[in-house]
């Protein structure tokens, strides 16, 4: 059988992630990986990511266990790159859309690019690399390459956000490109293999509610602002291969970073169960607008796609909070009316009484946290960014910062603490 015949017989997208495990990051004269250490030529990286829009750019390192605070955090990105000749990283930004979701992608696992600096701070957060706050976020476990950018004070917020988003992607692209030929430690393969219908495994998909509300609350699919798109069926490999990029400024504790899209735990869990306990049928990307007519249009389309796929069940994780709860309940009502069982994931930030919308059909809900947790986080020896921003972060207060450098905060200010994909360290306790 030649290669063409093999491709015809197997029409499924097959994605191989070649994993290079990174256990430390250090500055050096050349960017490369040796003995699981990512060495970075700081000057070369600064030249690669240079953007004349910024008044100043700097790169710092933050390792697990170090006394370091990163504040405010804009985005977290895992360095990845296609192993083809085109070698793109984020299709629509730095890569060809035709390659996304299949072929081979090199991944620098265990490290990330974190962007900070002059951002629209009220709905960004912070990451502590050790101490009490570090226990609430997965990002404290990564070797972080922090890009600190200073934007002109008189620049428009939307211009800052665009520049910061591109800056993080470009920095991740640089690291992956410079280490592209590093031998992989192991490989992860993803393919939605055919399932024998006679087995009658339950057919399941994820309805990925995706923020697109304007005013900087937007995500990007293949480089396009999601608020210009309709509900779309996507292969899970597309998410894992960089098709979706974060651009939102929602509450830090439950925002989806680009890293979260690249490492969606729900996708990985359904892949693990595919062909064993269920048949994973894909992801229904559903924009969450602010206008009711748009909400109805997009959620109705999600229900139609779920029906056309003959689904038995869907997972519906919310992104953000407040009015997206209407989209969540619309999907649940619509799917349940079609006999499609639903499980919703959300963070009831105001408690049960504070949920913006409810439905009788929403009888299988998973709460990913609660906002009613205030505490003091200790001072750190090093602060990357601007610690004064805690005064205006959601989860911070005007008097949060104390003279000794410690902070009195609400859990909402910790990036990733309430991840609604289910990736966090919180659990329920029966009193």
Q: Which residues are catalytic?
A: 249
DSSP of 328-387: HHHHHHHHHHTT-EEEEEE--TT-GGG-S---TT--SEEE---S--EEEE---SEEEE-G
Number of H helices, E strands in the chain: 8, 25
3-class secondary-structure state, position 144: strand
Say how far apart CA 415 and CA 381 lie, in whole Å.
Answer: 20
Q: Which residues pair with 206 in a beta bridge?
A: 283, 315
Considering only CA atoms, which of 131, 77, 410, 68 is closest in space to residue 252? 410
Task: Supply 142's token pair.
Answer: 């990564």
Considering only CA atoms, which of 148, 172, 144, 127 is closest in space to residue 59? 148
| b (16+ CB within 10 A) / e for 86-115 | ebbbbbbbbbeeebbbbbbbbbbbbbbbbb
Say how far apart CA 326 and CA 321 lie, in whole Å.
Answer: 10
Tokens 């280490």 belong to which residue?
179
Tokens 């499609």 belong to which residue?
340
CB of 205 within 8 A of CB of 280? yes
| b (16+ CB within 10 A) / e for 170-179 | bbbbbbbbbb
Query: How crowded is the C-beta side of 363, counted as CA atoms within 13 Å?
Result: 6
| b (16+ CB within 10 A) / e for 368-391 | bbbbebeeebebbeebbbbbebbe
Q: Which residues pair with 144 in a beta bridge?
A: 62, 112
């Amino acid at each position: 059988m030649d290669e063409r015949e093999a491709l015809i017989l197997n029409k499924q997208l097959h994605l191989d992630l070649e994993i290079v495990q990174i256990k430390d990051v250090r500055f050096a004269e050349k960017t490369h990986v040796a003995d699981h250490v990512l060495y970075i030529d700081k000057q070369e990286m600064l030249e690669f990511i240079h953007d004349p829009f910024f008044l100043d750019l700097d790169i710092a390192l933050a390792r697990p266990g170090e006394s370091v605070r990163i504040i405010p955090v804009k985005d977290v990105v895992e360095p990845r790159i296609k192993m083809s000749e085109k070698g793109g990283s984020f299709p629509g930004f730095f890569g060809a859309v035709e390659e996304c979701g299949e072929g081979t992608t090199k991944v620098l696992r265990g490290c990330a690019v974190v962007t900070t600096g002059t951002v629209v701070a009220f709905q960004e957060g912070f990451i502590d690399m050790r101490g009490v706050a570090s226990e609430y976020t997965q990002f404290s476990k990564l070797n972080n390459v922090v890009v600190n950018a200073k934007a002109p004070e008189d620049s428009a917020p939307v211009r800052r956000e665009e520049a910061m988003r591109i800056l993080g992607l470009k920095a991740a692209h640089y690291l992956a490109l410079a280490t592209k030929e590093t031998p992989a430690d192991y490989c992860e393969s993803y393919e939605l293999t055919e399932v024998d219908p006679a087995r009658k495994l339950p057919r399941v998909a994820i309805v990925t509610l995706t923020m697109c509300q304007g005013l900087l609350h937007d995500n990007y699919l293949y480089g396009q602002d999601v608020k210009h798109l309709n509900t779309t069926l996507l292969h899970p490999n597309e998410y894992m291969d960089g098709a979706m990029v974060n651009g939102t400024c929602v509450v830090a504790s439950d925002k989806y970073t680009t890293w979260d899209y690249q490492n969606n735990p729900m996708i990985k869990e359904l892949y693990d169960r595919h062909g064993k306990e269920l048949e994973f049928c894909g992801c229904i990307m559903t924009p969450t607008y602010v206008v009711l007519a748009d909400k109805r249009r997009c959620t109705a389309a999600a229900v139609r796609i779920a029906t056309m796929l003959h689904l038995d069940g869907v997972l519906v994780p919310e992104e953000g909070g407040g009015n997206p709860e209407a989209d969540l309940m619309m999907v649940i009502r619509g799917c349940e009316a079609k006999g499609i069982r639903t499980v919703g994931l959300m963070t009831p930030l105001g408690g049960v009484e504070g949920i913006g919308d409810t439905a009788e059909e929403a009888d299988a809900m998973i709460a990913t946290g609660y906002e009613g947790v205030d505490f003091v986080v200790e001072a750190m020896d090093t602060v990357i960014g601007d610690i004064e921003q805690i005064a205006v972060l959601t989860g911070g207060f005007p008097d949060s910062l104390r003279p000794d450098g410690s902070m009195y905060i609400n859990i909402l200010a910790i990036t990733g603490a309430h991840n609604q994909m289910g990736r966090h360290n919180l659990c329920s306790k029966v009193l």
